[in-house]
């Protein structure tokens, strides 16, 4: 029997925040203020608002997450992704609450070709875009401000709460449009439902867990193999009737990005597996479950 907690989630309407709120609401007392109430773009106002809230655990899912949006407004990205999280962490430290800060694989420069552990240096020079720089600054700020903070790095999220990459690929296939995806960029697609389960296990059964932790499914993919697997599973499940080819693209040929993307950011989940007592399932298995859920909804 899980003992209920008072959990404060920022960004509860987002892809990950929505999954956490959906999973935890039946067992925990949830506090999920909207952006109109708590706006991380205004760090000067955050402390006063949060000081009046009652919670045991703060999970900060809010952020400026579009690399291109961050590239166009790097100061805004720093306010949302670094300055306000530091304020939240300081308030958690003041009251003795725990905090989980959601971060990203984009803190790495992407120049390697082997699995990245928590001990791997984040971007030996600097992250390759404003998003990565702001999230790395946020990691450093919350770790300095709070002794009970867990920084959970996640990557390539998919789940039922907000559209993501698999939804885009399926929509193109169903519409009979060309499906194309970049084939020279690697990371780990990760289920928001799995993250919700893992984090709950950690804050209930491993409350002392703190510092950096890579929170992702097992395996790796390119956007191209991610798209191919999505469509193959969709065909198997019956979401599509024909399997279209996926045209491979190179990052250097893709002109749709304002911000540069890191090439290789596949994270090792070995430390997570040790904390959970089992290896997280593969991203392919998690994706199959996610797609199968569409049939029953």
Residue 243 lies in a domain: no
Range of the domain at 136: 6-163+187-219+266-282
Q: What is the pLDDT of residue 294?
A: 81
pLDDT exceeds cutoff 60 at 124:
no
User: Could you read off the pLDDT of 243-292 as tens digits, one per residue?
Assistant: 999 999 999 888 888 899 999 999 999 999 999 999 999 999 999 999 99
Residue 45 lies in a domain: yes
Which tokens is 289 given? 């479950």
The full length of the chain comes to: 297
Give the chain's mean pLDDT.
95
Q: Write the burial class of residue 44 (CB in 10 Å: 0-12 exposed, 13-18 middle, 19+ buried).
A: exposed
Contact 170, 232 (CB under 8 A): no
pLDDT exceeds cutoff 70 at 212:
yes
Residue 194 lies in a domain: yes
Catalytic residue among 24, 106, 131, 226, which?
Answer: 131
Which tokens is 216 given? 């992702």
- Number of folded domains in the chain? 1
The DSSP code sequence of 232-275 is: HHHHHHTS-SS---EEEE-GGG----SS---SB-PBP-HHHHHH
The CATH number of the domain where 94 resides is what? 3.40.50.720
Residues forming a β-bridge with 153: 103, 214
Residue 211 lies in a domain: yes
| Residue with more model confidence, 259 or 295 | 259
Three-state DSSP class for 67? helix
Residue 68 lies in a domain: yes
Q: Give helix 84-95 / helix 130-145 axis angle, nearest 10°.
A: 20
Residue 12, C-beta contacts closer than 8 angstroms, at least 6 positions apart: 18, 20, 21, 30, 32, 61
The count of other CB atoms within 10 Å of the CB of residue 294 is 15
- Write down the pTM of the prediction: 0.96
Residue 180, C-beta contacts closer than 8 angstroms, at least 6 positions apart: 246, 247, 248, 249
Residue 123 lies in a domain: yes
**Which runs of E-coded beta strand occur in the chain?**
6-10, 29-31, 57-60, 98-104, 149-154, 157-158, 179-182, 186-187, 190-191, 211-214, 221-222, 246-249
What sign does the dihedral 79-82-88-94 (CA atoms) show?
A: negative
Is 24 considered catalytic here? no
Q: What is the pLDDT of residue 1?
A: 44
pLDDT exceeds cutoff 80 at 296:
no
pLDDT exceeds cutoff 90 at 122:
no
Residue 233 lies in a domain: no
Residue 96 lies in a domain: yes
Q: What is the pLDDT of residue 3?
A: 67
**Over residues 208-220, mean pLDDT:** 98
% of the chain with per-residue pLDDT over 90: 92
What sign does the dihedral 166-171-176-182 (CA atoms) show?
A: negative
The DSSP code sequence of 78-113 is: HIIIIIHHHHHHHHHHHHT-EEEEEEEGGGS-----
């Amino acid at each position: 029997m899980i003992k209920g907690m008072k959990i404060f989630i920022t960004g509860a309407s987002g892809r990950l925040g929505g999954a956490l709120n959906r999973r935890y609401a039946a067992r925990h007392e949830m506090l999920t203020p909207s952006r109109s109430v708590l706006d991380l773009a205004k760090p000067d106002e955050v402390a006063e608002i949060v000081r009046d809230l009652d919670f045991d655990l703060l999970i900060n899912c809010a952020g400026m997450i579009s690399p291109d949006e961050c590239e166009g407004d790097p100061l805004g990205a720093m306010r949302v992704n670094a300055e306000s999280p530091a304020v939240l962490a300081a308030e958690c430290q003041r009251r003795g609450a725990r905090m989980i800060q959601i971060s990203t694989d984009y803190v790495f420069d992407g120049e390697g070709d082997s699995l990245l552990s928590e001990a791997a240096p984040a971007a030996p020079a600097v992250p390759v875009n404003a998003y990565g720089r702001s999230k790395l600054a946020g990691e450093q700020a919350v770790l300095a401000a709070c002794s009970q903070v867990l920084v959970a790095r996640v990557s390539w999220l998919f789940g039922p709460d907000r559209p993501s990459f698999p939804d885009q690929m399926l929509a193109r296939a169903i519409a009979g449009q060309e499906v194309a995806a970049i084939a020279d960029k690697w990371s780990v697609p990760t289920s928001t439902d799995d993250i919700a389960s893992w984090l709950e296990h950690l804050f209930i059964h491993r409350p002392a867990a703190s510092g950096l932790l890579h929170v992702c499914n097992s395996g790796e993919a390119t956007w191209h193999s991610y798209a191919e697997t999505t469509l193959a599973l969709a065909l198997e499940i019956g979401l599509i009737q024909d399997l279209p080819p996926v045209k491979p693209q190179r990052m250097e040929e893709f002109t749709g990005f304002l911000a540069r993307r890191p090439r290789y950011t596949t994270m090792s989940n070995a430390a997570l597996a040790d904390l959970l007592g089992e290896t997280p399932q593969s991203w392919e298995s998690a994706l199959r479950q996610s797609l199968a859920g569409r049939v029953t909804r």
